[in-house]
A and B are shown apart, each in its own frame.
Chain A
């Protein structure tokens, strides 16, 4: 197990998240994709910390912990927005949310 293999796995996870965020029309699927991309970034933080020159300093671990906390806040606000949009428009399909279109 080398660093590059781990980075390839993380890149694959990121691209699957990108695929979900770009190609699905349901708002919750888009949020799931964004969560997956954030999780792939966390994996990169941990991998670079573990394989880096100074693994005694827990910098990467700290950044990953803060990143998880911020991702949780983002998920809470995002899902609340989905619920608010659903109440207003009775749909969660992002293609139908085109009221701002000129």
Chain B
């Protein structure tokens, strides 16, 4: 785990996230969000969780970002009007960040380096998913089915009699 890679990925992720939060045009913000999510996936690779990194790329970059772009396309009516920027949110966010950093930096047990581990293979993840986590897996399956059917019903055209 090199620190140069860490700094580059951190700048990429936080820069992308900041652009997504502050850019005026919605489409630019959605594409910056993709950059931030790719940086996050790189973090997962750096930490040895390759499978989660790949899932992150597939789900967020592949599905969620495309979904956001389609929603922008379908609701493109009042896009160009620059909205009022609420500075109260900035104050709250900075205060929360300061509190979190203060708590993290004054906890001495967090200042540790990573222990060496053997690589976590997809085979092991599959085994655990089918033994210890089989009920959570089924629940997530039911949840995803229900959520997607609900989303479909929400956006279905109403029949005008």
Interface residues on A, range: 35 or more
Asked if residues B75 and A58 are in contact (CB atoms below 8 Å), the reply is no
Asked if residues A19 and B89 are in contact (CB atoms below 8 Å), the reply is yes
Q: How many residues of B contact A (CB 8 A)?
A: 84
Q: How far is the CA of A47 from the CA of B43 in the complex (A)?
A: 9
Secondary structure at chain B's binding surface: helix, strand, loop or mixed?
helix
A101 CB to nearest B CB, Å: 18
Within 8 Å CB of B68, what residues of A? 28, 31-32, 75, 79
B136 CB to nearest A CB, Å: 6
Within 8 Å CB of A17, what residues of B? 17, 21
Within 8 Å CB of B51, what residues of A? 61, 65
Identify A15's interface contact among B20, B47, B100, CB under 8 A: B100
Asked if residues A69 and B112 are in contact (CB atoms below 8 Å), the reply is no
A16 CB to nearest B CB, Å: 4
Within 8 Å CB of A12, what residues of B? 14, 97
Within 8 Å CB of A61, what residues of B? 49, 51-52, 120, 125
Q: How far is the CA of A91 from the CA of B77 in the complex (A)?
A: 7
Asked if residues B40 and A42 are in contact (CB atoms below 8 Å), the reply is yes
What are 13 A-B interface contacts by the 8 Å CB criterion? A1-B3, A13-B17, A16-B17, A32-B29, A32-B68, A35-B64, A36-B36, A42-B52, A55-B117, A61-B52, A71-B59, A73-B148, A95-B84
Residues of chain B touching chain A, judged by Cβ–Cβ distance below 8 Å, are 1, 3, 6, 10, 13-14, 17-18, 20-22, 26, 29-30, 33, 36-37, 40, 43-44, 47-49, 51-52, 55-56, 59-60, 63-64, 67-68, 70-72, 74-75, 77-78, 81, 83-90, 92-94, 96-97, 100-101, 104-105, 107, 110-115, 117-118, 120, 124-125, 128-129, 133, 136, 140, 143-144, 147-148, 150-152, 154-155
8 closest cross-chain pairs (CB), A and B: A23-B89, A22-B89, A73-B147, A20-B21, A80-B151, A19-B93, A15-B97, A25-B83
